[in-house]
Amino acid sequence: MNLGKMHGNYAHTWWTPEEWMEWAFITMGSEYLWDPCPMDYEGGGHESGLERRWAKRTYCNHPGGRGAAQEWWAKYQLEQARHLGAMRFVWCAFSVEQFRHLRQSPFELPGWIVWPRDRIGYVWGGPDMGMANGKLVECVGEYEDLEVHRKHGERQKSPGQWSAFWTNCEPANPPGNCMITRTGGRG
C-alpha cells in the first residue's frame, strides 16, 4: 500500500468482510483457503506470512503500510512459481491505484479485476481508537476516556480509496454492484 503520505498515517489492520471472504471461497472453488495475513490483532505475526509457504488456494489481504504491498506481491509471485503456476489466488488491494505500484502489474497478468462501485465496509481489527490533540490514537492509559472513533471488531469504511480484487481464476458473482475486467494477454 505504498501510496505515499495519503495512507501513511493510518493503521492497516482491516479485516475482509464475511461476504467478500465467501466470494473468495467460491471464486477459488474450495471450502478451504489459506490467508497468510490472518485476522489476528493480538497475536500479531503478519510477517510470518512472508516467511511461510502459501497454499495452492490463497487469499491475501495484506497488512499494508509503506512498501508492504510490493513485498506481499513479490511473495505471491514466488509462491506461484513454487506451485508451477497452479496456485489459485485472490489479492485484495486497498485501492485500485495499488496495482500500478506492483511489479509485474496485475494488469499485465492473465486474470480478472473485480471493482466494487462502492467502498467496502471492512472490519477494524486494531485497538479502539480516539482523537487526541488532532491525532487518531489508541484508547489506553491517559486516553481511555476519549470518544471512540474506531472500535475493534466493528464494520467501518476503511480509509483511502475504493478497493479492488485481482484473481487469477474466473471470479464468481461478487457481492454488491461491481465491474469485472479481464487482465493480461487473454484474447
What is the pLDDT, as a whole number, of residue 6? 36
* Confidence (pLDDT) at 179: 94
Q: Is the pLDDT of residue 4 over 50?
A: no
> Over the stretch 69-85, which tens digit does the pLDDT of each residue have?
899 999 999 999 999 99
- pLDDT score recorded for residue 143: 74
Grid cell of 179 as nine digits: 465491474
Burial bucket for residue 141 (CB in 10 Å: 0-12, 13-18, 19+): exposed
What CA dihedral angle connects 44, 38, 182 and 7, to 10 degrees? Answer: -30
Spell out the domain ranges in the chain: 5-120+158-183
Residues 164 and 159: their CA atoms lie apart, in Å, by: 14
Q: Is residue 65 packed enough to be buried (19+ CB in 10 Å), middle (13-18) or exposed (0-12)? A: middle
Beta bridge partners of 161: none
> What are 47's three cell numbers?
510477517
The predicted-structure confidence for 120-162, as pLDDT tens digits, reads as follows: 888 888 888 888 888 888 888 777 788 888 888 888 876 556 7
Residue 86 in this model has a pLDDT that exceeds 70: yes
Cβ-contact 120, 178 below 8 angstroms: no
The larger pLDDT score, comparing residue 32 to residue 135, is at 135
- The answer to whether residue 1 scores a pLDDT higher than 50 is no
Min mean pLDDT across 18-22, 112-116, 143-147, 151-155 is at 143-147
Instruction: Name 148's bridge partners.
Output: 130
- H/E stretch holding 15: strand 14-15
Confidence (pTM)? 0.81
- Report d(CA 41, CA 120) in Å as an integer: 20
The Cα–Cα gap between 61 and 91 comes to 6
